[in-house]
Structure 1
Amino acid sequence: MRRCHADVQPPKETVSPHKHERLIHGIDGLAEFLGISKTKAMSLRKSGAIDQATTQLGRRLVFDPEKLMKLLEGKRV
């Protein structure tokens, strides 16, 4: 039995060339990503300034970091 499991190799981790490939989950994640408070992150979300980078899956908010950075480029957060 051990011999069979010894032949199995764990999957290799791939390193993405894109820095912002992962999604940001929730207001807490948004606040941490932007380096702002949760209150400021909620205000930013409610203002509609980042709606194009936001997806809501049920009760969960998901933000696309690449779109988020493009939307906030040149703006003071």
Structure 2
Amino acid sequence: MKLGIFSIEELMQTPLCMMTGEQFAFLASNLSLISDQANKNKVEAEKPKHLVYGIKGIADTFGCSIPTANRIKRSGIIDGAITQVGRKIVIDADLALELAAKAKKQGKEVCA
């Protein structure tokens, strides 16, 4: 976040003994912005991901059969929630459900 001539991120990385008086005064005057940003980052980091694995994980998440889970994966609707390396598939279940709901609102068919 850049305010004025200083970047808060840069100043946060600068040792206190290396700051000028102007930089320190700027940092002190924007303390509320810094604490708000730190709280936001902390809340985002605390939310644990609900991960499921494989086609069976997709089937369990959507409450469907294995063939339907394969169709959902192949449709590309939940690609943002899938990480695949070789044959290993890891799915962020919450994100997959969000993406499927968004696609359904847009009129796309999630599973046939």
TM range (shorter): 0.5 to 0.7
Q: Trace 1:1-77 onto structure 2 (pairs within 5 A).
A: 21-73=49-101, 75=104, 77=111
Tell me which protein shows more helix as a share of its residues: 2
How many residues are aligned here? 60
TM-score of the superposed pair, with normalisation by structure 1:
0.65
Q: Residue 55 of structure 1 aligns to a residue in which SS?
A: strand
Gaps of 5+ in 2: 1-45, 105-109
Find runs of 4+ consecutive structure 1 residues off by over 6 angstroms: none
TM-score of the aligned structures, taking structure 2 as reference length: 0.47
Shift of 1:21: 2.6
Which structure would you say has the larger RCO, counting Cα contacts within 8 Å and 6 or more residues apart? Answer: 1
Q: Identity, % of aligned pairs?
A: 35
Structure whose alpha-carbon radius of gyration is higher: 2
Unaligned runs of 5+ in 1: 1-16
